[in-house]
Every structure is written in structure tokens, then in C-alpha cells.
Amino acid sequence: MAISKGNKKEKLPEKILKELEQLSPDEFKKLKWHLKGDTEIPASRLTEAKEPDTVDLMVQKYGGTGALEETMRLLEKISRNDLVQNLQNSSSGLKAHPKLLSGDGKLEHHGEDSLTLADNPDRFWRFVSAVLAVCLGGCVSYLINLKTHCACAQAEGCNLKQAKLTVVQHCAVDVTLDPDTANPWLILSDDGKQVYCGDERKKLLNNPERFNMYPNVLGKQGFIEGTFYFEVQVKGKTAWDLGVAKESINRKGTTTVDPEKGFWTMRLRNGDEYQANDSPAVPLSLKSPPEKIGVFVDYEEGLVSFYDVDTADLLYSFTGCSFTEKIYPYFSPSHNDKGKNSAPLIISLVNLKE
């Protein structure tokens, strides 16, 4: 299910304050005692601080998401897990973008510095949990398992590429191909999950939705808000195009496949030539040929990102996209090339690491 934005009228510091105000005077005193011992906030400022002042101090020091992380940790210390759960639930509509998780083995920490698993394992996992609580609406429980099952676990080294990919994979949606948009050269499977270019052009109604020039097809599911993610197997192909396109794109005759024309895609040509179809086009030098591509979209943020699912590498991101209408998953298996490129594109089931 795609994750949509919720009500943003109540900001994160206000949500934190609401929970702190449920503490008894003794509980609040204990919380500040733990905060004094584990933070660089001057003790003199905390001693007489009331609930609003304490929240302000944490936000100033850690930022909004960091204050959430710190609050949940402190509430656990004083055995108020009910309030921790309240924060996780109430934070589901707020936005914490997965870009907080960088691909180079570090966590971008409140825009100030970076935090690695090696630096402070406990704090690292608490922060990642807080990010997920905000981004995924309380899906913190799977992060506990991530410590042991994900490639980011300490036994595998600090590989935050996988953590970032795991976050966006939780935005997975069910995508099927729309035969009414398919170019007449294309062959679609009965379940709408596979497509390849055939050897002859079928006689099909040239309806307004159908691509009549290039071997393209759209997904049936369109999106006008929120975040979504899908994966496509490209193994065995020498050419393909993948990404998203807006509903009003030109589907007849020739067109330029770039953001100015409503396409946000990447492609392969000649077996090893990868390119992001930006304006201008950007050649991509990949470490190895990807066999499965993940496509992540954040509608409100104007972001389209492509991942190598097996290596968790971020291949390219379109940023600052202006989405003003419904957008659809976009697929092109490219031409058959006398059988050299006959392998299908396959919309894959996303394997979530729970």
C-alpha cells in the first residue's frame, strides 16, 4: 500500500510535548535525570526546565526526528512504553524522508553530522527506528529484526545502503500492466506481470491510451499522492526503459522521453550502456549489470529514485520533480532485436526483510 501524507497541522515537537505532559511530576523528574546523564545539554538549563522547555532543548540539540528518538529512549528508561507507542502511532502522518539514510555507510544525523553503527550501535539503531517511526507509521518492530536479519547488522558491517532500500521497500505497491496502453508489438502475460516485444505487430484498436510508435506500456495503477515502490526483473535483456510517466504524456508518434515531456526514467542500450533520461541525459557507470531494478517515488517530495535491488546501490535520483497530475509506472522492454532482447521485463514480488 502506498503511504500518503497525513495531517501536518500538529508538528512533531507538539506531539512529543503532548506525551510528556502525561507524566507525573516524579516521572518527569526521572526523565530529566536520565537526559542530564546522557546528553550534552547543560544540566543547568534542564534543572528547572518545564515540559515545553525540555522539548525545545531537545529539538535545538537533536532536530525534530532526533528529539523523537531521544524522547522514546527516555520514556523507555522510565517504563512508560505506552507513551512510546503513542508517539510511534501519532507520528505516522509526518514526513521523514529516507534520504536521511545515505549510501556510503553513514546516517545523516539531523543535518549536522553523521552517525555510524561503529560509533554508537545503540544510538544508531534508536535513530534509525525513529526515522522509520515517522516515515512508515510505527513500523519500528521490524527494525528490531533488522539488527540480525538485514545486511546492515553489525556482523555484516555498517552497510546503510541496505537499510535505506529496506525503508523504501516498505512502500511497495501491487503493479500490473495495462493492456489498453500496450504498443501492438508487445506481448503481455495473462497476469499482467510480464512483457516482451514480439515478432509481429498485432491488429489492435488505436485507442487514445495506446502507444502506437514505441514498445511502451503503463501500469494500470496511477498515483496522485504519497510514496510508492515497485521492482522489475531485467535479467537477460540488452535494452529496456523503466520509470514513471504522467498521465498526459504523448502516446502517439515520436516524443522525447525526459522530465520536460513527463517521463522520469532510466534505460539500458547495447547490453552495457546505462543512462538516466534526464534533461540532459546522464550516462551511468554501474559497478555491475543489475538484474532487478527498484523504482521509488515520493509524489509530494518530487523524487524518483532507481535502485539495484541485489546490491542496494542507488543508481540515480530525479529530484525537484513537479508532479501535478496522476503518474503511472512506465515500462519498455525495447525491441526484440532478432531474439537478442527477447527476455521479458517481469514485475517482481518485493521481498521485504521482516
DSSP secondary structure letters along 2-62? -B-----SS-HHHHHHHHHTTS-HHHHHHHHHHHHHH--S-HHHHHT--HHHHHHHHHHHH
Q: What is the pLDDT of residue 170?
A: 82
CB contact at 8 A, 7 and 93 = yes
- Residue 94 has a pLDDT of 41
The fraction of the chain above a pLDDT of 70, given in percent, is: 75
What is the rounded CA–CA span in Å between residue 61 and residue 55?
A: 10
Burial of 90 (0-12, 13-18, 19+ CB in 10 A): buried
Mean pLDDT of 293-298: 94
Alpha-carbon distances, residue 66 vs 45, 53, 100, 129, 348 (angstroms): 19, 16, 11, 11, 35
pLDDT tens string 162-180: 777 887 888 899 999 999 9
The pLDDT assigned to 155 comes to 40
In this predicted structure, what is the pLDDT of residue 255?
Answer: 83
Q: Does 261 have pLDDT greater than 50?
A: yes
Please state, in angstroms and rounded to a whole number, the distance separating the CA atoms of residues 131 and 94. Answer: 10
The string of pLDDT tens digits covering residues 336-353 is: 998 999 999 999 999 875
Mean pLDDT for the stretch of residues 107-113: 41
Higher pLDDT, 214 or 255: 214
Q: Which of 203, 201, 206, 200 is nearest to 181 (CA)?
A: 206
pLDDT tens per residue across span 32-90: 988 887 666 778 888 889 999 999 888 887 777 778 878 888 898 898 888 987 887 76
Whether pLDDT at 219 is above 90: yes
Q: Residue 109's beta-bridge partner residues? A: 113
Q: What pLDDT does residue 301 have?
A: 83
Average pLDDT of every residue of the chain: 80
List of domains in the chain: 12-90 (1.10.533.10), 98-169 (no CATH), 179-348 (2.60.120.920)
User: What pLDDT sits at residue 13?
Assistant: 83
Q: Is 352 helix (H, G, I), strand (E, B) or coil?
A: coil
* Residue 86 and residue 127 in contact, taking contact as beta carbons nearer than 8 Å: no
Range name among 9-23, 96-110, 254-268 with the lowest pLDDT average: 96-110
Q: Is 96 left (phi over 0), alpha (psi -120 to 50) or beta?
A: beta
Q: What pLDDT is attached to residue 215?
A: 96
**Cβ-contact 124, 106 below 8 angstroms:** no
Query: What pLDDT does 327 receive?
Result: 97
Phi, psi values for residue 166, rounded to 5°? -60, -40
User: Is residue 124 over pLDDT 70?
Assistant: no
- Rounded distance between C-alpha atoms, residue 218 and residue 128, angstroms: 35
Residue 95, Cβ neighbours under 10 Å: how many? 17
CA distance 160 to 152: 6
Confidence of residue 315 (pLDDT cuts 50, 70, 90): very high
How many Å apart are CA 134 and CA 125, to the nearest integer?
A: 14
Most confident of 81-90, 130-139, 272-281: 272-281
Model confidence at 304, in pLDDT bands (50, 70, 90)?
very high
Q: How many CB atoms lie within 10 A of CB 122?
A: 9
Q: What is the pLDDT, as a whole number, of residue 7?
A: 38
Q: Does 5 or 11 have the greater pLDDT score? A: 11
* Cα three-residue angle 309-160-320, rounded to 5 degrees: 70
Percent share of the chain, pLDDT over 90: 50
